[in-house]
């Protein structure tokens, strides 16, 4: 049985503003390319980075999700992400929000 988790997806122009919004709890997470996320998580130990790998392969630019350290959302995100990989929804969203931008 799939569970729907309500969320609001926003597109921002400036990543540094997104990171600050996450630090102040205005955003719960950020999804961006791996190298950009690393630029922030390597300097701020209050942030964690999780690589999104599809079928053991990296496609396009690797994608990462960043959460505040010890976020309760991390485990939920990982579970839902694995389900989305299996049912094809992840590929659909990557095409819509990343590849076609």
Contact 16, 22 (CB under 8 A): no
Residues 73 and 31 in one domain: no
Distances (CA, A) of 43 to 23, 48, 74: 14, 11, 20
DSSP 26-45: S-S-EEEEHHHHHHHHTT-T
Contacts of 53 (CB under 8 A, 6+ apart): 62
93 and 69 belong to one structural domain: yes
Domain of residue 92 covers 64-100
What's the CA gap between 85 and 25, in Å, rounded? 28
* Average pLDDT, integer, range 25-42: 81
Q: How confident is the model at residue 18 (pLDDT cuts 50, 70, 90)?
A: confident
pTM here?
A: 0.47
In this prediction, residue 89 has a pLDDT band, given cuts at 50, 70 and 90, of confident
Residues 71, 42: one domain? Answer: no
**Looking at the 3D structure of the chain, how many domains does it have?**
2
């Amino acid at each position: 049985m799939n569970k729907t988790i309500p969320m609001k997806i926003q597109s921002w122009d400036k990543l540094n503003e997104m990171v600050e919004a996450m630090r102040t709890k205005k955003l719960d997470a950020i999804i961006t390319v791996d190298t950009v996320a690393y630029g922030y998580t390597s300097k701020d130990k209050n942030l964690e980075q999780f690589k999104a790998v599809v079928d053991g392969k990296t496609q396009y630019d690797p994608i990462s999700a960043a959460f505040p350290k010890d976020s309760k959302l991390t485990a939920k995100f990982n579970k839902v992400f694995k389900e989305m990989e299996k049912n094809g929804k992840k590929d659909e969203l990557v095409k819509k929000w990343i590849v076609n931008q």
